[in-house]
Amino acid sequence: MRRTTTSGNTLIHRPGRENQQLVVHTLNRHRKSIFPPWPDWTSRRLIRGHLRKELEKGFEFRLKKLSLELDTALHQVREEANHALVMGKTHLRKEQMEFFANTYNEMMERFNELSDRFLTGLDARFERLEKFKSPTIRKKEEQRIDRAVDTFLATLDELVEEYRAIITERVGHDETF
């Protein structure tokens, strides 16, 4: 307890009493509860509406972010798949070119063998042609030999062209049979 005097009057100060008076004075001044009161139903609906909008915006943001991440991942997978396809196609094209070149060489060797046998057979036919005494038979046989030569050479040319067409043929995934 502390005493002070002012112009002859003695005042007694009590610290506990002052604190009590300050608390009472503060409560009287505000006269409100410590916790804020619940808003009315209209305000509650408004607050809930705002909360719902904020949640929706948050979900929309997360959905857009996930969508962007998914698109990025899909793009990366596509790029990797395209790279693998290009590398695989390059290897397959090389093998395909080697296969067709080897097959073409084998085919041309067979055609040359067939041509040699055919020409050897033609020599024998021309020798036999000269032995015919009848000019009519000789002429008919000569025409038959000429047609056989033309047919043989045309067939060889056609086979070579068909083989080239097979080599250059492009097969797509959207073609139907």
Q: What is the DSSP letter of 114?
A: H
pLDDT in tens, 147-170: 999 999 899 899 888 888 887 876
Residues 127 and 86: their CA atoms lie apart, in Å, by 60
Is-contact 163 107, C-beta < 8 A? yes
More confident residue, 15 or 61: 61
Q: What is the structure's pLDDT at 113?
A: 92
If we measure between CA atoms, which residue out of 21, 22, 4 comes closest to residue 13? 4
Residue 3: phi and psi, rounded to 5, are: -115, 135
Per-residue confidence at 35, pLDDT binned at 50, 70, 90? low
Residues 65 and 3: their CA atoms lie apart, in Å, by 72
